[in-house]
Amino acid sequence: MASYTDTQIEAMKKDDLRYFLHPTSSIVDMESWGGPKIIEEGCGIRLKSIEGKTIIDCGAGLWLNNVGLGRTELAEAAKQQMEKLSYFQTFNGYSHPLVIETAKKVAGMIPMDNPRIFFTSGGSESNDTAYKLARMYWYLQGKPNKHHIIARTKAYHGVSYGAVSATSLPGFWDGFRPLVPAFHHIEHPHCYFCPWGKEQDQCNLECAEALEEKIIELGKENVAAFTAEPIIGTGGAIVPPDGYYQRIHEICDKYDVLFIADEVITGFGRTGKMFGMLHYGVQADIMMMAKGITSGYIPMGAVGISERVFTPIKSHGIFMHGYTYSGHPVACAVALKNIEIVERENLAENARVVGEQLRSRIRDLSLPCIGEVRGIGLINGVQLVQDDAARIKFGPEIGFAKRVSAIAWENGLALRPLMDDGLQLSPALVITETDVIELVDKLGRSIKQAYDEFLGNQP
Ligand code: PMP
């Protein structure tokens, strides 16, 4: 049952177009639809649109909802903390019990020895904090020139000025230059579309060697850090080849460059392990978190800081950086309860098992336009291609993934097209095999319909 009349819905859509500037949304598209798609409620992996339609959220919001929607335990934790201490600062030497408990809990979970935890309100802030820590680390060693930061193409690290300077996806720099100086990019690893034209078993990890080349080009005395998402998220849910991070880490060690892992998406169980880097046995010097730390119930981010990076800052005596909401008591209450649920319900293991079922069922659709089905745990991408054998993409003018996503919406899926005709499949970690069967059935029908239309339009 819809709770709004058609007239009310129409008025709401008009008001949205009139008053609300959406982040990263095509205004032209929204106007052509007569307004945005409005979601009113959510439970588990399902949303309810304002028209009363049930929709599977294939993306867990923006890759963030690990425990599923509508968990009353989290609402209760937030309510209790709001009533007790809704806010107090953590600047100027103040603290409160829950920020101490959350820092201790997160420090004990992340793959880092003896870390300190800094809190932020989200992923971009965590990224900016990490770059500032890296630059300050070298500054305090008397090496202020060692401030260049190397990231990768197809990286998404956020949109604040530091983070967007590390991001490298089309559109995010247009009109915003100049970016923060001294950010550089090397080619990202992606075996299916290998930029070196190699096959996975016959390559020399050129994608990792590119880091060494870039450090030599810039001069190791100038390079502060290399940053990467363990598994590329927004750039396409791309898993690196075996040995990639081990080689990256060797190169960072060889040239005395910090390794910074952006675990904003991959943290708190999404990849089938609690953190993405646990798949690769490599420890970062600085680690960014957000999203799954509260499953998006309230904004929060965090940064794990290794002993190596913290020691000179301790000697210096102050880290002159912080956000009003760093260590917000209500966010801490929600984070603690959320992490408790992730652990209690063994959601990382569910992500591992159900992720495999999801990929395998999508491969079994055997549609000619499905190329690579990639991912790990519940961070997955489906690559749509015109020709799988020759790895030929659809032209951007076709907008194939966008069309699939529009049909999928009609079929009851909120499905996000990624760049280069990828589809994002990263549902909440509470998804079951039965849900997967329904999701893949709707996905398959949507892809098939778009492909039939495409074939019908061919001369
Ligand atoms: N890093 C990664 C890997 C992300 O995926 C995102 C958000 N999608 C961010 C950073 C930025 O996070 P936020 O939008 O919370 O600033």
Mutate to test the pocket of ligand 1, among 66, 264, 323 (most ligand atoms within 8 A of CB): 264
265 lines ligand 1 (CB under 6 A): yes
- The pLDDT assigned to 459 comes to 81
| Whether the model pTM is above 0.90 | yes
Average pLDDT over residues 147-170: 98
Is pLDDT at 242 greater than 80 in this prediction?
Answer: yes
Element (H, E) at 28: helix 27-32
Spacing, Cα 289 to ligand 1 middle (Å):
9
Mutate to test the pocket of ligand 1, among 291, 298, 323 (most ligand atoms within 8 A of CB): 291
Nearest CA to ligand 1 atom 1: 157
* Cα separations in angstroms, 57 against 62, 63, 171, 274, 451: 10, 10, 25, 22, 22
Chain center to CA of 173: 19
Q: Are 243 and 204 in contact (CB under 8 A)?
A: no
124 lines ligand 1 (CB under 6 A): yes
Spacing, Cα 169 to ligand 1 middle (Å):
13
Whole-number Å distance between alpha carbons of 151 and 232: 12
Mutate to test the pocket of ligand 1, among 121, 129, 157, 419 (most ligand atoms within 8 A of CB): 157
Nearest CA to ligand 1 atom 13: 123
Intervals of CATH 3.40.640.10 along the chain: 72-344
In this predicted model, what pLDDT tens digit does every residue of 343-392 receive, in sequence order? Answer: 999 999 999 999 999 999 999 999 999 999 999 999 999 999 999 999 99
Point out the ligand 1 atom lying closest to the alpha carbon of residue 234.
5
Is pLDDT at 2 greater than 80 in this prediction?
Answer: no
Considering the chain, what is the average pLDDT of its residues? Answer: 97
164 lines ligand 1 (CB under 6 A): no
Confidence of residue 76 (pLDDT cuts 50, 70, 90): very high
Average pLDDT over residues 271-283: 98
Whole-number Å distance between alpha carbons of 181 and 186: 16
- The pLDDT assigned to 276 comes to 98
Average pLDDT over residues 86-97: 98
Spacing, Cα 376 to ligand 1 middle (Å):
19
Whole-number Å distance between alpha carbons of 212 and 214: 5
Distance between start and end Cα atoms, the chain: 45
Confidence of residue 201 (pLDDT cuts 50, 70, 90): confident
What's the length of the chain?
459
Whole-number Å distance between alpha carbons of 434 and 400: 28
Point out the ligand 1 atom lying closest to the alpha carbon of residue 124.
16
b/e burial code for range 294-309 (CB count within 10 A of at least 16 → b): bbbbbbbbbbbbbeeb
Mutate to test the pocket of ligand 1, among 156, 164, 270, 297 (most ligand atoms within 8 A of CB): 156
Is pLDDT at 233 greater than 70 in this prediction?
Answer: yes
* Cβ partners under 8 Å of residue 359, min gap 6: 373, 374, 375, 380
* DSSP 3-state of 160: coil
In this predicted model, what pLDDT tens digit does every residue of 299-309 receive, in sequence order? Answer: 999 999 999 99
Kindly report the number of other CB atoms within 10 A of residue 58's CB atom.
23
User: Biggest alpha carbon distance in the chain?
Assistant: 70
Is pLDDT at 453 greater than 70 in this prediction?
Answer: yes
Spacing, Cα 59 to ligand 1 middle (Å):
14
Is pLDDT at 129 greater than 90 in this prediction?
Answer: yes
Amino acid at 111: P
Is pLDDT at 417 greater than 70 in this prediction?
Answer: yes
Is pLDDT at 1 greater than 80 in this prediction?
Answer: no
Domain range 37-67+346-456, its CATH number among 3.90.1150.10, 3.40.50.410, 3.40.1280.10, 3.40.50.970:
3.90.1150.10
Intervals of CATH 3.90.1150.10 along the chain: 37-67+346-456
290 lines ligand 1 (CB under 6 A): yes
- The pLDDT assigned to 5 comes to 96
* Cβ partners under 8 Å of residue 332, min gap 6: 81, 96, 98, 99, 101, 102, 119, 300
- The pLDDT assigned to 3 comes to 85
Spacing, Cα 294 to ligand 1 middle (Å):
14
127 lines ligand 1 (CB under 6 A): yes
Point out the ligand 1 atom lying closest to the alpha carbon of residue 127.
10
ipTM of the complex, rounded to two decimals: 0.99
Place of tokens 């569910």: 350
Is pLDDT at 408 greater than 90 in this prediction?
Answer: yes
For the record, the structure tokens of 236 come out as 């396409």
Spacing, Cα 9 to ligand 1 middle (Å):
31
Bridge pairing between strands 370-376 and 54-57: unpaired
Spacing, Cα 124 to ligand 1 middle (Å):
6
Is pLDDT at 121 greater than 90 in this prediction?
Answer: yes
Domain range 72-344, its CATH number among 3.40.640.10, 1.10.10.10, 3.40.50.300, 3.40.50.720:
3.40.640.10
**60 φψ region: left (φ > 0), alpha (ψ -120 to 50), beta (else):** left
